[in-house]
Structure 1
Amino acid sequence: MRLGWYSHLDKREKRTYWACFGGFTLDSMDSTIYALVMPVLLTVLGMSKSDAGILSSVALIGSALGGWSAGVLADRYGRIRVMQWTVVWVATFTFLAAFCSSFWEFLPVRFLQGVGYGGEAVVGAVLISEAIKPALRGRVAASIQSGYAIGYAISLGAMPVVFYLFPEDVAWRAFFAIGLLPALLVWFIRRLVPESDTFNKARARDKKVDIRVIFGARHRRVTFISTVLASGIFGGAYIMITWLPTYMRTVLNLPIASTSGYLAVNIIGSLVGPFIYGLISDRVGRGKTFMLFLICQALVVSIYMFANVSMTIILGLGLLLGAFQGGLASGLPLTFSELYPTSIRANGAGFCTSFGRGFGSIMPAAVGFAAAHIGLETAMGAFAIGSYTVGFIAALCLPNATGVDLGAVDAAHEIDTLANKEVNPVQPADRPIHTAQ
């Protein structure tokens, strides 16, 4: 039986895929444990809601710094080695959270966990972009993002079991402790997953590369456009992720049980969206797919926030909101990986993704300040649509290197040329797409 694009992967590609998917899934599981136990920490440890918000923010800051740092290290020491480091890093600092007893103890642990999570996401995306054949790269790389929803589901399913087995004041510590289990994935990565051939060839040619190259004349334009694109996409996403539960409770007046159901539909959408993005982007190109998804997401948010519609329609819109949101996020590291030569690929992709995430994290705070004057729904809608507009303009200017052969001997020269042209030089729709079945 053939399973779509998965059937077209060879043995090596499949192992790499599962290593990247597993790493992102398990790191997502560890990361979402914090959100699930936060209500317990507010009660048991006496933390305030402000403390909870700060812990969320420092994790985002850590993720931004970790993405670029891990990218730089991956260009120097290898994709596989740094991926192993990041998986162990996240698992270790999740485990250490079990021994924290105050806000000030949680603060550095949460920050350092975020560093590892951001690093794994970037390095995994670069590795998969180099390991998968060009015709399938978009679908395979984008599907890795679905691991976030799977990881969230695992932690959500494990929580009632842990809290059934232990009293509440012990259960939250045990829940953090099981976050050490993803470190076992390192055994699989070390034994069965090979280093990227593309990286090995580039390292043989380029012994040492200055990390400042991505800001030089040759790559400056790509770095700027890509960072703006990521800022717009993450800005809109963080607004919805941060404020949607509050909007449902305070504006739509939904009870807690109903709010959970509506958010579950949103999570399902985020699971499906990356697969749709990957399929379309392999056919029409990354930039055009970003523009399509950004327009659709802006329309969904406009109806969600400003139209007087039934709760049934709101439920359906939540599914679309998650799908477009997940799809947009899934395409960023892959797209950036295709725009840089191998010697600085992880560095460039890490910087654009991470600093875009950092700039985007400002938007939820902006909504909070504006909501005091214009109302939450107006602030959410206006700032989200503004973010999507910024992203759309950047996508319009984005060079198109969709499906470029990253493993070719002259790939670095080819990408340098593409990245500095004012027009899209690659027309992916003109290439055979028989592997899309």
Structure 2
Amino acid sequence: MSSTVEPSGAIETAPIEDTSLLAFYRDMNLPERRTFWACAAGWALDGMDFMIYPLVIGTIIAMWKVDPGTAGLAGTVTLLASAVGGWLGGYLADRIGRVKTLQFTILWFSFFSLVCAVVQNFDQLLIARALLGLGFGGEWAAGAVLMGEAIRPEFRGRAVGSVQSGWAVGWGLAVLSQAILFSYLPAEIAWRWMFAVGALPALLVFFLRRYVEEPAIAAATREKQAASGDQPALWEIFHGPILKTTILASLMATGCQGGYYAITFWVPRFLTTERKLSVVSSTGYLAALILGSFIGYLVGAWLADRIGRRNLFLTFSIGAIAVVLLYTQLPLTNEVLWLLGFPLGFFASGYFSGVGAFLTELYPTRLRGSGQGFCYNFGRGIGALFPFLVGALSNSTSLANAIAIFAVAAYGVFFLAAFALPETRGRVLHADT
């Protein structure tokens, strides 16, 4: 039985009785399953779109004669723009609805992925990636809130975390596209087709319009706001007791994403330069990393409900630091490096499974889109500096050292911020004004 909300303001929570990974899916009704698959597909295509650029960055550097720091700037600009897009997308989701915002943002970033395929110089690519980032950030904000509200509290960690595993599927699709296109087309043409493939998410909108419903809790809250005229303000997440939550959650999101981007953005380049692998032969190493990432998402989803969100974050941040140091600092053979790709992907990704549910549970319904969208994408924006900084530092030290320095620092911030935040496992969400 769920506990009740006491007059003192105690938080209502639901018990986690069945802790098996797939229990949530067995108990879903048809609308919930449609929402689950729509969001999972969105995450996969989102991941594919973002990971395309790190995979073609070597070709961009060679073709347009840009240095690694400048090339990394395009990744940084994408993430900085996504920080703005996520905040605005979350706010829009609070005002017009989760599903409508999701549709709009998917169309936006799909269109600008197509624009990336036809740019004629690096400056044009930089602008196109920035505009793509606006939709990229907004899509995460709307989709995460949609999933968090559609799923019952006892299953929320596993459901949202399982959706997060779609990112690894999208990463795999990007790597597969690279292997095929760069095998059959010249590099100066193949990279353009990679970006063209990134426009495929637009097809998902047809499914969203037909089958996915707005969460009842969000619809009820907006009805109350419309009747009272009390609409949430864009800056409301920075006032009163909510401010402390916003600051700590933003730092946590900065650490977890900064570490992730420092690793995943530059590992393809690390393999082809410092490990002397070709683009095609590096595919197997990336496959190990992606497989570890996918399994990490699923295990993280299970642990989010089993041991709680905070314990998941603390455990995986320590694991990520240890594996990053092994991967980048020891004189390993390529065979051992290939094996280490699995735990690297596992620990550098699996904690994301708890992030969406955790941020959903930290905010009241009237501010959930704004708060969740801002914190996650603030972290994405600051984390966005890491691809640029790693690339810049690699001009004076090895790329391996640059990756290790920024990844370890980021995961340290992640650990400390997560430790300072409350546990939210099983928290019941309510319609409010």
Q: Give TM class, smaller chain.
A: 0.7 to 0.9
- For 1:245 and 1:168, the matched residues in 2 are separated by 16
Write out per-residue CA displacement over residues 390-424 of structure 1, whole angstroms, 9 at most, x where no aligned residue.
Answer: 21111111112222111x357x8xxxxxxxxxxxx
> Which of 387, 396, 414 in structure 2 is aligned with 1:391?
414
State the secondary structure of the residue aligned to 1:333. helix
1:22-421 counterparts in 2 under 5 A? 22-41=41-60, 46-49=64-67, 51-159=70-178, 172-207=191-226, 208-249=231-272, 251-252=274-275, 258-307=281-330, 311-368=334-391, 375-406=398-429, 408-409=430-431
| Bigger relative CO (Cα 8 Å, ≥ 6 apart) | 2
**Cα deviation, residue 140, structure 1:** 1.1
Question: Measured at CA, do residues 41 and 371 of structure 1 come closer, stay the same or move farther in structure 2, by a change above 3 Å?
Answer: closer
> Residue 86 of structure 1 contacts residue 116 of structure 1 at CA under 8 Å; is this kept in 2?
yes
- For 1:279 and 1:34, the matched residues in 2 are separated by 31
> Residue 222 of structure 1 contacts residue 399 of structure 1 at CA under 8 Å; is this kept in 2?
no
Identity %: 38
Write out per-residue CA displacement over residues 271-318 of structure 1, whole angstroms, 9 at most, x where no aligned residue.
Answer: 111111110110221111100111111222233334455554433322
Q: Which residue of 2 aligns with 1:430?
A: none
- For 1:365 and 1:25, the matched residues in 2 are separated by 25
Count of aligned pairs: 408
Write out per-residue CA displacement over residues 218-268 of structure 1, whole angstroms, 9 at most, x where no aligned residue.
Answer: 201111111111111112222212333444455555565554322221111
Q: Which residue of 2 aligns with 1:17?
A: 36
> Residue 27 of structure 1 contacts residue 91 of structure 1 at CA under 8 Å; is this kept in 2?
no
State the secondary structure of the residue aligned to 2:232. coil
Question: Measured at CA, do residues 74 and 383 of structure 1 come closer, stay the same or move farther in structure 2, by a change above 3 Å?
Answer: same
- For 1:269 and 1:320, the matched residues in 2 are separated by 6
- For 1:255 and 1:168, the matched residues in 2 are separated by 12
Cα-Cα RMSD: 2.7
**Cα deviation, residue 144, structure 1:** 1.8
- For 2:157 and 2:141, the matched residues in 1 are separated by 15
Q: Give the residue type in structure 1 aligned to 2:347.
A: F
> Residue 137 of structure 1 contacts residue 403 of structure 1 at CA under 8 Å; is this kept in 2?
yes
State the secondary structure of the residue aligned to 2:117. helix
> Residue 99 of structure 2 contacts residue 213 of structure 2 at CA under 8 Å; is this kept in 1?
yes
> Residue 236 of structure 1 contacts residue 384 of structure 1 at CA under 8 Å; is this kept in 2?
yes
Q: Which residue of 2 aligns with 1:419?
A: none
- For 1:95 and 1:375, the matched residues in 2 are separated by 34
TM-score, structure 1 as length reference: 0.84
Question: Measured at CA, do residues 216 and 75 of structure 1 come closer, stay the same or move farther in structure 2, by a change above 3 Å?
Answer: same
Write out per-residue CA displacement over residues 358-396 of structure 1, whole angstroms, 9 at most, x where no aligned residue.
Answer: 222333444455556665544433432222122111111
- For 2:388 and 2:297, the matched residues in 1 are separated by 27
Which segment drifts farther, 180-189 or 13-22?
180-189
- For 1:298 and 1:149, the matched residues in 2 are separated by 20
- For 1:101 and 1:371, the matched residues in 2 are separated by 27
- For 1:33 and 1:90, the matched residues in 2 are separated by 13
Which segment drifts farther, 268-277 or 160-169?
160-169
- For 2:269 and 2:301, the matched residues in 1 are separated by 31
Gaps of 5+ in 1: 413-437
> Residue 28 of structure 1 contacts residue 148 of structure 1 at CA under 8 Å; is this kept in 2?
yes
- For 1:174 and 1:382, the matched residues in 2 are separated by 34
Write out per-residue CA displacement over residues 52-82 of structure 1, whole angstroms, 9 at most, x where no aligned residue.
Answer: 3332221111111111110111111100000
Q: Give the residue type in structure 2 aligned to 1:67.
A: G
- For 2:251 and 2:42, the matched residues in 1 are separated by 27
- For 2:359 and 2:346, the matched residues in 1 are separated by 21
- For 1:372 and 1:174, the matched residues in 2 are separated by 30
> Residue 55 of structure 2 contacts residue 268 of structure 2 at CA under 8 Å; is this kept in 1?
no
Question: Measured at CA, do residues 87 and 375 of structure 1 come closer, stay the same or move farther in structure 2, by a change above 3 Å?
Answer: closer
- For 2:198 and 2:292, the matched residues in 1 are separated by 26
> Residue 145 of structure 1 contacts residue 326 of structure 1 at CA under 8 Å; is this kept in 2?
no
Write out per-residue CA displacement over residues 151-210 of structure 1, whole angstroms, 9 at most, x where no aligned residue.
Answer: 232233345655678776665545544443321211111111100111011112223011
> Residue 47 of structure 1 contacts residue 103 of structure 1 at CA under 8 Å; is this kept in 2?
no
